[in-house]
Amino acid sequence: MADFVGKQFTQEEIAEKVKEQYDDEKTIIFYNIVMGGGGHDIHFGIFHDEKWGVLESSKATTDKMMDDLNWASPVTKDSTVLDLGSGHGGGTHSMVKRFGCTVQCMNLGPKQNEFNLAECKKIGIADKVSCMEGNINNPFPSEWTGKFSHIWSCEVFCHVADKVATLKEIYRCLKPGGVLVFSDLMGSDFADEKQLKDFTDRNATSSMGRPSQYLEALRDSGLQYVQWWDGSFHLEKYFSEMVRQIDENRDVMKSKGLDDQYLNNWHQSLSDRVQMQKDYNVFAWGIFVARKDPNGKFPVPKFEFKTEGGMAFFDAYMSTRSFISGWYEGSKDDVAVYLAMGGAPKESVHPHAARWYKQVAKMMDSSFPGASRAVSTN
């Protein structure tokens, strides 16, 4: 059973480690009881009533995500939804039962997929659901381009190594005007990786995301921001409820093959999370909603350099990137902006813009291979 103490994984390693964490018969039992309360909503929960446990609160999260998805763009019987990292299928089952939509599941674990499809048959929705084994860290099938009206993912992106690349794949697979809703457990924007060790020691991750990083990644993928709902204040209670599930169901889980060492390790890790969240609020969790432009256009920035406000905007824009339209290589967009600027920014006032300007100046005699997004400048 999964134990990742002191380890973080590369994009090439992470798929097998995710299977190890979630697709072993014993870990399926653990997550079903400790995170799902015996249900199929295996994720963090929100509490409307202090008497609620993991079962009620995790179902409430599913309900809220469906509400957010439906408000952003109505989900109907004609909608085609992609469930990325569908796990036991809790989100899929709920969406089909509520909306009558068709759902394509993609999930890494074959045992989880078998469970999902068996449950679909049991509750009478098998004709609405298909499931393929797939790795969210890899490019999605080419035939999915522009296929889905909605994409759903619940606490899967923490296992994604290159979040911008995955979001760009999501952008490609959405129809114009299509909507993405996803939740994830993250580090708070001020937390460092050492503070998050109680999570990374139990989960197959490369590194934990931050809310601000996801907002940047959404923009860089071409998706339009709709909302970010911060539910971090529910985490302390949810961690506590997971501890309670272990205490109250230890004998049941042991009878199904889980051993005391595994349960004790989880109990200690979750107890540490409760205290860390209570004292320092190092974890963040919530729901993001984004949309593909109805006209299918990739959004491009518009810059102007005649005012201090325009320069300040450009400096902030360059604070998170090396080039105008890409992370790793320059393009004709850099040439256009460089020429429009008309001179080097003051490093003491606009350090990020100045750093970019110096970099482009050195490259002006070289070719810029990156594709242009035709930025506007004044």
Q: Give the distance between the most distant pair of CA atoms in the chain.
A: 73
Answer yes or no: is 5 within a domain.
no
d(CA 62, CA 76): 17
Q: Which residue has the higher pLDDT, 320 or 106?
A: 106
Does 4 reside within a domain? Answer: no
**Pairing state of beta strands 129-133 and 224-230?**
unpaired
State whether 201 and 320 are in the same domain.
no
Question: For residue 25, is pLDDT > 80?
Answer: yes
pLDDT of the residue at 192: 77
110/131 Cα distance (integer angstroms):
10
Does residue 359 register a pLDDT over 50?
yes
Tokens of 253: 């889980």
Q: Classify residue 367 by its DSSP letter.
A: -
What mean pLDDT is predicted for residues 42-58? 96
**pLDDT for residue 40:** 87
Residue 3 belongs to some domain of the structure: no
Residue 71 has pLDDT above 80, yes or no: yes
**How far is 352 from 359, CA to CA, in rounded Å?**
11
| pLDDT tens per residue across span 253-293 | 999 999 999 999 999 989 999 999 999 999 999 999 999 98
Asked whether residue 231 falls in the same domain as residue 372, the answer is no
Strands 283-291 and 174-187, sheet pairing = antiparallel
By three-state DSSP, how is residue 3 classified? coil
The total domain count for the chain is: 2
Cα(93)–Cα(365) distance, rounded to whole angstroms? Answer: 57
- Strand 80-84: give its sheet, edge to edge: 129-133, 102-107, 80-84, 148-154, 174-187, 283-291, 224-230
Lowest mean pLDDT among 25-34, 117-126, 173-182: 25-34
Instruction: Give the three-state DSSP class for 190.
Output: coil
Domain finish residue from 270, 291, 312:
291
Number of CB atoms found within 10 A of residue 46's CB: 23
Per-residue model confidence (pLDDT) at position 11: 57
Residue 79 backbone dihedrals phi, psi, to 5 degrees: -75, 145
Report if residue 79 sits inside a domain: yes
Do 270 and 316 share a domain, yes or no?
no
Q: Residue 209 in contact with residue 187, Cβ under 8 Å?
A: yes
- Asked if 65 and 24 sit in the same domain, the reply is yes
Phi, psi at 41, each rounded to 5°: -90, 90
Host domain of residue 336 = 302-377
**Residues 260 and 372 both lie in one domain:** no
pLDDT of residue 1 exceeding 50, the answer is no
Which tokens sit at 132? 């393929």
Instruction: Output b/e per residue, 191-207; b: 16+ Cβ within 10 A.
Output: beeeebbbbbbbbbbbe
Give the N- to C-terminal CA distance of the chain in Å, as an integer. Answer: 59
Across residues 153-181, what is the average pLDDT? 94
Q: Which of 249, 264, 291 is the last residue of a domain?
A: 291
Query: How many CB atoms neighbour CB 273 within 10 A?
Result: 23
- Which pairing describes strands 102-107 and 80-84: parallel, antiparallel, or unpaired? parallel
Name the band, by pLDDT with cuts 50, 70 and 90, for residue 233.
very high
pLDDT at 10: 56
- The answer to the question of residue 39 being in a domain is yes
Residue 218 and residue 103 in one domain? yes
Q: Which stretches of 174-319 are DSSP H helices?
A: 197-200, 211-221, 235-255, 260-280, 308-318
Question: Does 5 have pLDDT greater than 60?
Answer: no
Whether residue 14 contacts residue 137, with contact meaning beta carbons closer than 8 Å, is answered with yes
Q: Rounded to whole angstroms, how far apart are CA atoms 295 and 360?
A: 32
Average pLDDT over residues 5-20: 57
Residues 317, 234 share a domain: no
Which region among 83-92, 226-235, 242-251, 369-378 has the lowest average model confidence (pLDDT)?
A: 369-378
Instruction: Indicate whether 147 pLDDT > 90.
Output: yes
Classify 297 as helix, strand or coil. coil
Q: Are residues 198 and 76 part of one domain? A: yes
125, 250: one domain: yes
Looking at every residue in the chain, the average pLDDT score rounds to 88
Q: Are 321 and 199 contained in the same domain?
A: no
Determine the average pLDDT of the residues in 296-313: 81
Query: Is residue 117 domain-shared with residue 231, that is, in the same domain?
Result: yes
Q: Between these two residues, 159 and 4, which has the higher pLDDT value?
A: 159
pLDDT of residue 26: 87
**How many residues are listed for the chain in this entry?**
378
Q: What is the CATH number of the domain that holds 45?
A: 3.40.50.150
> Which of 58-62, 202-206, 313-317 is the least confident region?
202-206
Cβ 239 vs Cβ 268: under 8 Å: no
For residue 4, name the pLDDT band (cuts at 50, 70, 90).
very low
DSSP string, 52-96: --HHHHHHHHHHHHHHHHHHHS---TT-EEEEET-TTSHHHHHHH
The reported pLDDT for the residue numbered 185 is 92
Higher local confidence (pLDDT), 230 or 3: 230
Higher pLDDT, 322 or 78: 78
Range 330-334, long-range pairs (CB < 8 A, 24+ positions): 330/360, 330/363, 330/368, 330/369, 330/370, 331/368, 331/369, 331/370, 331/371, 331/372, 331/373, 332/368, 332/370, 332/372, 333/370, 333/372, 333/373, 333/374, 333/375, 334/360, 334/363, 334/368
Q: Which residues are bridge partners to 229 per DSSP?
A: 287
